């Protein structure tokens, strides 16, 4: 099964993807994590993305499409994967459909986590208050910009996947376990 976890920055996509990895054995394919690993490793790809990511801008479509295709071809994705933070633009979604079709696969379901902006800002502020290690883009200012980028470039995917009949919208404001339960129910519905 191939799933897309979709939603604004800080909606809880990573948390819910990890749950799907544990319960369904589907690897989490997070382009954000892959890009941060490339920055950490100091690769040319990482260096080319660092400034854009720190500002909350998207990196070029070809960059993420390339790393996703390479990652998807590893053996652990033979039964599918959870795409987290990818696709983020319509061209990325079209490229993902093509990539999967070439392999005889498809996206089965797109799970949208709906969270309003005020709650996302409150989440960043509470992470800052709690201390700990924060990402360079995890500040209220950068989040505001990432939300603008989300509404402009990524939100159009809601219509894209709705038209394909694959979109399931969930209440991402609910406590983590309630969101997980909604995801389970959506998967059971899709499998039935
Ligand atoms: P994330 O961890 O998913 O919030 O991603 C962190 C940052 O990585 C984003 O703000 C973008 O700069 C970059 N990024 C991650 N995934 C993508 C993507 N699919 N398309 C373009 N940029 C991305």
How confident is the model over 124-177, as pLDDT tens digits?
898 888 887 678 888 899 999 999 999 999 999 999 999 999 999 999 999 999
- The per-residue b/e assignment along 72-106, b for 16 or more CB within 10 angstroms, e otherwise, is beeeebeebbbbbbbbbbeebbebbbeebeeeebe
Q: In percent, how much of the chain has pLDDT > 70?
A: 99
Q: How confident is the model at residue 184 (pLDDT cuts 50, 70, 90)?
A: very high
> Residue of the nearest CA to atom 8 in ligand 1?
32
The Å distance, Cα 153 to ligand 1 centre, comes to 12
Longest alpha-carbon distance in the chain:
47
Residue 186 alpha carbon to ligand 1 centre in Å: 26
The residues annotated with a catalytic role in the active site are 13, 88, 127, 135, 146
pLDDT range class, residue 1, cuts 50, 70, 90: very high
For residue 83, what pLDDT band results from cuts at 50, 70 and 90? very high
Superfamily of domain 3-183: P-loop containing nucleotide triphosphate hydrolases (3.40.50.300)
CB 126 within 8 A of CB 12: no
Write the residue with the smallest CA distance to atom 5 of ligand 1.
Answer: 32
Alpha carbon of residue 5 to chain centroid: 5
pLDDT grade, residue 189 (50/70/90)? confident
Average pLDDT in the 14-41 region?
96
């Amino acid at each position: 099964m191939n799933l897309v976890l979709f939603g604004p920055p800080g909606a809880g996509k990573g948390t819910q993807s990890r749950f799907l990895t544990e319960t369904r054995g589907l690897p989490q394919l997070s382009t954000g994590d892959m890009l941060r690993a490339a920055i950490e490793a100091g690769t040319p790809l990482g260096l080319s993305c660092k400034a854009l990511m720190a500002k909350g801008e998207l990196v070029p479509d070809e960059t993420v499409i390339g790393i996703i295709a390479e990652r998807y071809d590893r053996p652990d994705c033979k039964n599918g994967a959870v795409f987290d933070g990818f696709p983020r633009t319509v061209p990325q979604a079209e490229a993902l459909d093509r990539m999967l079709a070439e392999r005889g696969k498809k996206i089965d379901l797109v799970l949208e986590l709906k969270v309003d902006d005020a709650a996302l800002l409150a989440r960043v502020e509470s992470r800052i208050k709690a201390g700990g290690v924060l990402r360079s883009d995890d500040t209220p200012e950068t989040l505001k910009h990432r939300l603008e980028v989300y509404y402009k470039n990524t939100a159009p995917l809601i219509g894209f996947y709705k038209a394909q009949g694959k979109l399931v919208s969930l209440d991402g404001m609910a406590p983590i376990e309630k969101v997980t339960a909604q995801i389970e129910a959506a998967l059971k519905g899709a499998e039935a």
